[in-house]
Each structure stands twice: as structure tokens, then as C-alpha cells.
Amino acid sequence: MKTLNDFDFNNKKALIRVDFNVPLNDSFEVTDATRIVSAKPTIIKILEDGGSCVLMSHLGRPKGVQEEFSLKHIIPKIEDILGVEVTFVSNCIGEEAEAKAKALQAGEILLLENLRFHDQEKQGDKDFAEQLSRLGDIYVNDAFGTAHRAHASTTIVAQFFPEAKCFGYLLAKEIESIKKVLEDGEKPVLAVLGGAKVSSKITVIENILDKVDHLIIGGGMTFTFIKAQGGSIGDSICEDDKMELALDIMKQAEAKGVKIHLPVDVIAADAFSNDANTQVVDVEHIPEGWQGLDAGPKSLENFDVVVNECKTILWNGPLGVFEMESFAKGTIALGDSIASSTKNGAFSLVGGGDSVAAVKQFGFENKVSYVSTGGGAMLESLEGKTLPGIAAILD
């Protein structure tokens, strides 16, 4: 696996695919600069080697050229974070981009305009990728968030750098973290899967059953399993057409020696509302008119024991409807358990979808070992897929 450390960037131009798809407010100011901060180590290493950086990214989902999606809005933030002046070019390909890239001196940064102003980016167009490739000597992919897409800048462009392509530090760290959990994890290995639906996590579950010793199933998914086993779930969310599958997962887990832990009690509410009346009930006896919206206290105690026994922990998906304060306690308690296990030496990876939002919202970001930067890309990795952006560098 080639990383930045395999190259000397002295007098070289690095063409770097970064993920600067950051949220902006109505005044076009960056409201969360995490992704820019995450790319900093890669950029600084190249500049310190005596090289220069051509940065390319997408921003939002523009339809053609749309001013509000211009990457020029984020220049002040990039300059602020990197402490280096940024030159900008208003088209990511073409004469001006090539001239500005050519004129770039050691220590300088050129930011290209939004790649998705061209439809060819998402189409993975080879000619467009070739035009991008003219802008650098070495291709660096540091964008995990788009590594599951075979777009021109994330995948296709790599073929124009057969000997000069590598992972940036951020992408390398993502790959190592996933490997540490799914392949080289110190036992016992635990996966906590929460979130709303079984259907969106089924491929993940099937893939990780071969990798883990314990599986905690929480969130809305719980009720498909409980109903399938004959429990009464009241008005809780349930996918009736996935009940067979749930039973099959239980069987597979047993055959593979994986211990499945489901909630034993829940916080049930008489409406899907923060102000609903609530009561703690046995997960298998939820009354009609009530729905389980969070894990109950006994479940959290059980989960805490498992989490603290395990040496490798993967967390994907909240244990309850954490967006509402009344049903966030389970997710917060799980975060506390994982933080404590991590403190005692476990490796913990949080990734995929809403769990990252939950971890940030409740301040667990620095208390777990690694928080992934890619939602969809992380889910696809957990499903066992080889991401095209990663395969293109390994080729």
C-alpha cells in the first residue's frame, strides 16, 4: 500500500483529491471545517518536502455551474487552517488551470473549482480524468468520503499515474482502522449496530458475522428481531418482510459462535415525539399504542458489560432516536461505555451514517480511537466491498 511516505515531493506537484465538501451557511461561511482540518497533514507534508499542491474536490450537488457551489467560498477557511495563501482557478480543467498549475512554485497551493461543475466527473469520464491528470506529477487520493464512487477524480484519474499514485494520510488511516477492526482486531471483537432499519444494514451484518465475537443489535432494528421471535412490540418500527431474515441471522450467528445481544427493555413512548409520555417496559411486552424509541436501563447495563469486555469495537448506528433529547440516553450511555473501554486499551472505530453525528453531538469524538470521515464509504467497506477509489491506487 503506497502512502505519502513512499514519495519525495521535492519539486513535484501533487494532484490531491481532497474531500472539501463542507457545510456552508447562508453567507457562504464554512460551519464545520473538520474535513479541511483532516486533510491538513497530507498537504503540509507535501509542502514541507518542497513540493506544491493542486487541490481538487466537489462541493454539494450542483447542476452544471452554480455560483453557490463554488469552492471559492471556502478559500479563507483553507488559508486560515493551513496558514498558506491559496491561488484559485475558476475551472478545474482547461488552459487556465494548466497554466496556473505549471506556474506553481514549491510551497504553493492551487485550488481547482468544483469538479462537479462538469458532468463528466460523476460519469467517470476518461477524457476529463486525463485533463485533470495534466495538473500534477503525483496523484494523491485523500478523500475517503468519495472512495466508494468510481468518479473521474477519485478513481479514473489514477490510471494516468501508473507509478506515481498513493494514499494521503487520511485515507491511509481510514483503511488501517477498518483493517484493524475487521481483520487484525484483538479479540474479543464487538460490533454494535443500531439505526433504523434491518434492510439498510443487512449486508453489513452478514459480512461481519465472520469477523466478530459479539454483536449488539439496537435502535429500530431491534423490533424486527423481537417480533420474529414472538415478542409483542406494540407500535414500534418493524420490517415484517425482514423477520425471516432476522431469524436466519440469529441462526447463522449461533453456528458461527457469535453472541448476539438485543435490548431486554426499552423506553416506550405513546407518540413519536420528544414530549410523549414514556415508560420503561420489557422489550417483548410493549403495549399496543406504545413504541420503543430507546434502549432501557437494564439493556444499557448489559451492553456496558459486553463493551468493557471487548478489545476491538466497531460502532455503527444509534441505539435510539437520539435526535430527540428524551430518547438520546441509550446512545449517550453506549458512547460512555465505549469511551471507558477505549480508555482501558480497546480499539474503537465509529463510522457510517448517523453514529458519527451522534458521537460529535455528544462529545465522544476524542474519547474513541477513530471516527471515520466517510458515511457511505464506511458502510460499503463494512459490507466487505473493495472501494473503487482504493482499488485504483492499489492496482
**Binding footprint of ligand AMP on the chain (CB under 6 A):** 195-197, 200, 219-220, 237, 292-293, 317-318, 320-321, 323, 353-354
Q: How far is the CB of 339 from ligand AMP (least distance, A)?
A: 20
What are the residues whose beta carbons fall under 8 Å from the beta carbon of 315, sequence distance 6 or more? 191, 192, 334, 338, 348, 349, 350, 351, 355, 359, 368
Nearer Cβ to ligand AMP, position 47 or 293?
293
Residue with cell 501508473: 162
Task: Kindly provide the residue ranges of all beta strands, DSSP E only, lying in the chain, ordered along the sequence.
Answer: 13-17, 52-56, 86-89, 109-112, 138-141, 165-167, 189-193, 214-217, 232-233, 259-261, 265-269, 278-282, 285-286, 291-295, 312-316, 347-350, 370-371
Q: How far is the CB of 382 from ligand AMP (least distance, A)?
A: 12
Nearer Cβ to ligand AMP, position 143 or 321?
321
> What is the rounded distance in angstroms from the CA atom of residue 87 to the CA atom of residue 140?
19
Nearer Cβ to ligand AMP, position 145 or 292?
292
Nearer Cβ to ligand AMP, position 47 or 198?
198
- What three-state secondary structure class fits 302? helix
Q: How far is the CB of 108 from ligand AMP (least distance, A)?
A: 41
- What three-state secondary structure class fits 86? strand
What are the residues whose beta carbons fall under 8 Å from the beta carbon of 122, sequence distance 6 or more? 116, 149, 151, 152
Nearer Cβ to ligand AMP, position 57 or 236?
236
Q: How far is the CB of 221 from ligand AMP (least distance, A)?
A: 8
> What is the rounded distance in angstroms from the CA atom of residue 384 to the CA atom of residue 258?
18
Q: How far is the CB of 201 from ligand AMP (least distance, A)?
A: 7
Q: How far is the CB of 204 from ligand AMP (least distance, A)?
A: 10
Q: What is the dihedral of CA 106, 11, 136, 157, to 10 degrees?
A: -130
Q: How far is the CB of 165 from ligand AMP (least distance, A)?
A: 33
Where in the sequence numbering do the catalytic residues fall? 35, 197, 353, 376
> What is the rounded distance in angstroms from the CA atom of residue 165 to the CA atom of residue 158?
7
User: Phi and psi dihedrals of 266, rounded to 5?
Assistant: -140, 160
Nearer Cβ to ligand AMP, position 196 or 391?
196
Q: How far apart are the two ends of the chain, measured CA to CA in Å?
A: 10
**Inter-residue contact 283 to 230 (CB < 8 Å):** no
The DSSP result for 200-224, as a single string, is: TTHHHHHHHTTT-SEEEE-GGGHHH
Nearer Cβ to ligand AMP, position 319 or 393?
319
